[in-house]
Amino acid sequence: MPKFSANLSMLFTERDFLDRFDAAAAAGFKGVEYLGPYDHTPDEVAARLTKNGLSQVLFNVPSGNWAGGERGIAVLPDRVEEFRAGVDKAITYARALGCPQVNCLAGITPAGVDAKTAEDVFVGNLKFAAEKLEKAGIRLLVEPINTRDIPGFFLTNTKQALDILERVGSNNLYIQYDIYHMQIMEGDLARTIEANLPRIAHLQLADNPGRHEPGTGEINYPFLYDFIDRLGYAGWIGAEYKPKAGTEPGLGWFREFAGKGSAAA
Catalytic residues: 143, 240
Q: Are 184 and 151 in contact (CB under 8 A)?
A: no
Query: Which whole-number Å values give the CA distances from 234 to 30, 197, 230, in the listed order?
Result: 15, 10, 10
* DSSP type of residue 7: E
Q: Are 131 and 159 in contact (CB under 8 A)?
A: no
DSSP assignment string, 6-70: EETTTSSTTS-HHHHHHHHHHHT-SEEE-S--TTS-HHHHHHHHHHHT-EEEEEEPP-S-TTTT-
Q: Count of CB atoms within 10 A of residue 232's CB?
A: 7
Q: Are 262 and 2 in contact (CB under 8 A)?
A: yes
Q: How far apart are CA 167 and CA 32, in angstroms?
A: 31
Report how far apart the first and last C-alpha atoms of the chain are (Å, whole number): 11
What are φ and ψ of residue 89, in 5° steps?
Answer: -65, -40
56 three-class SS: strand
Query: Which whole-number Å values give the CA distances from 252 to 12, 173, 261, in the listed order?
Result: 15, 34, 15
Q: Are 91 and 137 in contact (CB under 8 A)?
A: no
